[in-house]
Structure 1
Amino acid sequence: MAFANNHFYQQQPVIDMKKFKNIAFIILTLLAWTVFIGYGFIDGFLLRPITSQDSAEAFIDATKQKIKNEFVGNVAMALIENGKVSETFFYSIDRPVNENTLFPVASISKWVTSFGVMKLVEQGKIDLDKPVDDYLTRWHLPKSEFDNKKVTVRTLLSHSSGLIDDLGYDGFATDEAIQTIEESLTKAADAGSANGVAIVGYEPKSKYMYSGAGYTILQLLIEEVSGQSFQEYMSKEVFVPLDMQSSTFDYLKESNSQLAQIYTVDKTTRKMNKFTALAAAGLYTTTNDLSKFMIANISENDVLSEKTVQKMSKAETFINNTKVYGLGSHLYSQDDKESNIIGHDGSGNDAINTAARIDLKSKSGIIVLETGNWNMASSIADEWMFWKVGIADYVVMQRNKSYLLTLLIIGYIVIIGISVFIIRKMK
């Protein structure tokens, strides 16, 4: 018996080692497959675009399915190819919309306003790097522990001014009196849950922090320097030269038949709020007009020189070394060398969502204006960026999760099946 037991204990480790190697190989292969899928998810090379076809018609057809799957009250969409509108799509559950229907575009107002500000810079009436307080008489930045002289037109345009207002404006109901610009900057009554006070709360130029009040200060700056109301100035200096015939910062003067119905997430309609902060949130425009504005960013125009437009698209603010914002527009290409996408999104007011983005290199772009859904426009624009240039955002990643999970599981099954087959063959 002693001999037999010794023989067993001498041979058993050899058998266990083979099993261990086989199991280790399977585990390592499964781990490698998991890493591959994970990297493909993060890097984007395994993600699938919303359509595999390379045509504007195919992209719009794919977005129609997305619209069917979620509630949206109305949508106006335009695609730009080679500097021209190539395809449009319009949808509404009630009153029809078209290329001349006025939509509230929320924060896209900031991008359009930046053209008006830079017009004053080109005319030599303001300096990008001079303290903004030097131009103001009706209101001044309140004292803080930081140097207000570092708050310039440049830092206001690029959201690096040090302001901590956290605005997002809710606006005022049509039967409510609105604040003056000065009152709003002192304490915005339509701030919602935001701080709502235009005060410097961190070192100017030190970081990016989105500020609605920064653009309300620019609105005041335009009025003080030009001697005109903000609406009059923007119409004369931006809308008329770009032939934006329908665009307005005073929608109450427009015929109701031109206005898109404002849907909320519960599928009802309501009247649109009005704003003191017009430069930050008050623009009404159409896909027809907005396409003209976007094309002005990639071609000669009657508002700004090509040199100025190029300057506006350069990164002024960063988050973790990633380019975030220029002089009036978001920068969407990040570190991608094959594209240079700028633009702006807008949202809020239960529920307006808008997106306008254009690639300065390929001269292609997208406009999506909608009401009734919190993020339909932005998510379609995100899908467009991945479809067009391969830049994967959160929306694209979320849409691909089930596909990649399926791919992961199929890979597991194949790896285990092949491994078991090989092991049996080797016996």
Structure 2
Amino acid sequence: MRNLSLLIFSALLAMALWAVLVVTGARQGWWRTDPGPREDVASFFSGLSAKADAAGQGAVALVLIEKGAVFGEHYVSAGAPVSRDTLFQLASLSKWATAIGVLKLAADGKLDLDAPVSRYLTRWQLPESEFGTEGVTARRLLSHTAGLTDGLGYMGFEPGTPVQTLESSLTQAADPMPGADGRTRVGMAPGSAWAYSGGGYALLELLIEEISGEPFASYMKRAVLDPLGMSRATFDPAEARAAGLAPCFDEEGAPCAYRNFAAPAAASLHASAEDLVRFLEAQLEGASNPALPSEIMTEMRTPHASQFGIPIWGLGVMLYAESPGGGYIVGHEGMNFPAIETTARLDPMTGDAILVLATGNPGLAAGLGGDWVYWHTGRVDVRTLDGILPVAGLVLLAGWAVIVFSAALLVWRNRRSGSPEFS
């Protein structure tokens, strides 16, 4: 029996070691193509540009930043030309700017990030919940840890279609993406877990309007966009159309129309590549940010949510991977229907970043962003890791199956030979 116990222990140990090996391999990019040496910036940028060209449809703005300065820009369009001044709809990348608007209120002493948001609201309140609503704070809304279970994702409203009021959308969004509940409500204990919530950012939009006494788009223009030098950026879709939007394409590369949103804070900032370069430059370590004090910018990049022990979210920003210079690669990405995708990822310590704005090219922005994080850090970012988990899971299960089969075969052989220690 002693040998049998030892064999079982060894098999369990081997399974644990195999799990560690698979997880390490996934994080270290063992299944990714070598992106080339970090020092060869020109070749890397050339490769990114080639991938944008190879798509052969839609519109793309690609910017690579090195040490705080633009290294290269590449613009592609199957329709009207696009340039550094062309506005793109940013989808959920809008949430990053909205977060700065919220934190600006805190910096000005008008908002306590850890107070119940209900304290500031008069036009709408969260419905009663078995988990209560007092734990829903601005800090938790910013980090998607407030216990909201709406799962939004907004589809948006076709041009000419009436758009819900913000309050009505909070009660029950009429345009949820497939699989989203659409009701902004507390469905689990606030602070207990991370759960992405577009409804949480709709609630933050309402919070901004209630505290500032201004329409959301006006407040953001005054308090965030103009101070950062984002002169063309706007949350107002009419202003964006007048200023010149990139052509909209669907996932097949066919022309489409941009949609409107009840909660632009969550989904529809419109900005140019030039605007976003300024946005990223203001968030470098040591940079002067006219919108926020440096200590709040540091707090924004501090982990506030994790999954499987890996930090994934700060205040309004995703934590993609550990930065070689300390801290994290931060940023956000977005996806609006039918095929609008964006990403901006920044290493605040080194001043390196990538920006991809695209229509009509599903997966391109996230793919190029993941390429950059791996090239810059040597680690797979958490967004890409989600995509390879099914493959890693199969590899894990296959290894475990081999270990269990081998152990069982050894037991069978020894019992067949009459060994008493395996009987």
Identify the match of residue 83 of structure 1 among 51, 54, 68. Answer: 68
CA distance in 1, matches of 2:167, 2:32: 49
- Given that 2:129 and 2:186 are in contact with CA atoms closer than 8 Å, whether structure 1 keeps it comes out as yes
Secondary structure of residue in 2 paired with 1:141: coil
Aligned match of 1:125: 110
Equivalence map 1:6-405=2 (5 Å): 43-44=28-29, 47-52=32-37, 54-193=39-178, 194-256=180-242, 258-298=244-284, 299-334=287-322, 338=326, 340-393=328-381
1:208 and 1:319 in contact (8 A); partners too: yes
Could you tell me whether the CA contact under 8 Å between 2:331 and 2:346 is conserved in 1? yes
Counterparts in 2 of 1:334 and 1:322: CA distance versus 1, 3 Å: farther
Contact 1:166 1:195 in 2 (8 A): yes
Larger radius of gyration: 1
Q: Which amino acid aligns with 1:97?
A: V
Question: For 2:281 and 2:66, how far apart are their aligned partners in 1?
Answer: 10
> Does the Cα contact within 8 Å between 1:356 and 1:368 map onto a contact in 2?
yes
Mean CA deviation greater in 69-78 or 193-202: 69-78
Percent identity between matched residues is 38
**CA 1:254/1:108 → structure 2, altered by over 3 Å: closer, same or farther?**
closer
Contact 2:59 2:359 in 1 (8 A): yes
Q: Partner letter of residue 347 of structure 2?
A: D
User: Residue 49 of structure 1 contacts residue 383 of structure 1 at CA under 8 Å; is this kept in 2?
Assistant: no
What is the alpha-carbon distance in structure 1 between the residues aligned to residue 25 and residue 114 of structure 2?
Answer: 43
**In 1, are the aligned partners of 2:65 and 2:354 still within 8 Å (CA)?**
yes
In terms of mean alpha carbon deviation, does 382-391 or 56-65 score higher?
A: 56-65
Distance 2:111 2:94 in 1: 21
Inter-partner Cα distance in structure 2 for 1:98 and 1:82? 22
Q: Distance in 2 between matches of 1:186 and 1:40?
A: 44
* Letter of the 1:251 counterpart: P
Q: Is the 8 A contact 1:264 1:270 kept in 2?
A: yes
Q: In the superposition, relative to structure 1, how do residues 307 and 39 fare at CA in structure 2: closer, same or farther (>3 Å)?
A: closer
Q: 1:108 corresponds to which letter in structure 2?
A: L
Cα offset, 1:257, TM superposition: 6.5
1:305-354 Cα shifts (integer Å, max 9, x gaps): 00010011000011121101111000011597755200001013110110
Q: Which residue of 1 aligns with 2:5?
A: none
Equivalent-residue separation in structure 1 for 2:23 and 2:95 (angstroms): 37
Structure 1 residues 213 and 235, CA gap change in structure 2 (3 angstroms): same
Unaligned runs of 5+ in 2: 1-19, 392-423
The answer to whether the 8 Å contact 1:37/1:46 transfers is no
Secondary structure at the aligned position of 2:341 is classed as: strand
In the alignment, the residues of structure 1 paired with residue 239 and residue 24 of structure 2 have an alpha-carbon distance, to the nearest angstrom, of 53
Distance in 2, matches of 1:38 and 1:126, equals 41
> In the superposition, relative to structure 1, how do residues 195 and 128 fare at CA in structure 2: closer, same or farther (>3 Å)?
same
- 1:231–1:265: structure 2 CA closer, same or farther, 3 Å change rule? same
Distance 1:362 1:165, change over 3 A: same
Structure 2 Cα separation of the partners of residues 37 and 116 of structure 1: 41
The SS at the match of 1:332 is strand
Between the aligned partners of 2:79 and 2:102, the Cα distance in structure 1 is 38
SS at match of 1:333: strand
- 2:63 and 2:74 in contact (8 A); partners too: yes
The one-letter amino acid of 1:350's match is P
> Which residue identity does 1:211 align to in structure 2?
S
1:28-84 CA-to-partner distances (Å, cap 9, x unmatched) read: xxxxxxx99997566336744334463443222102332344344111011111122
1:191-221 CA-to-partner distances (Å, cap 9, x unmatched) read: 1432110110001000100000000000000
* Alpha-carbon separation, structure 1, partners of 2:193 and 2:56: 37
TM-score, with structure 2 as normaliser: 0.82
Whether the aligned pair in 1 keeps the contact of 2:247 and 2:255 (CA below 8 Å) is: yes
Distance (Å, rounded) in 2 between the aligned partners of 1:71 and 1:388: 27
Structure 1 residues 41 and 301 mapped into 2: Cα distance closer, same or farther (>3 Å)? closer
Q: How many residues align?
A: 367
| Aligned partners of 2:345 and 2:369 also within 8 Å | yes
Contact 2:171–2:183 (8 Å) recurs in 1: yes
Q: Contact between 1:56 and 1:79, CA under 8 Å: does it hold in 2?
A: no
1:321–1:251 distance in 2 versus 1, CA, 3 Å: same
1:122-158 alpha-carbon deviations (Å, 9 max, x no partner): 1111100000011000000001111100000011000
Q: 1:89 to 1:51 in 2, by over 3 A?
A: farther
SS of the residue 1:392 aligns to: coil
Q: Distance in 1 between matches of 2:144 and 2:79?
A: 38
Structure-2 separation of matches of 1:390 and 1:253? 41
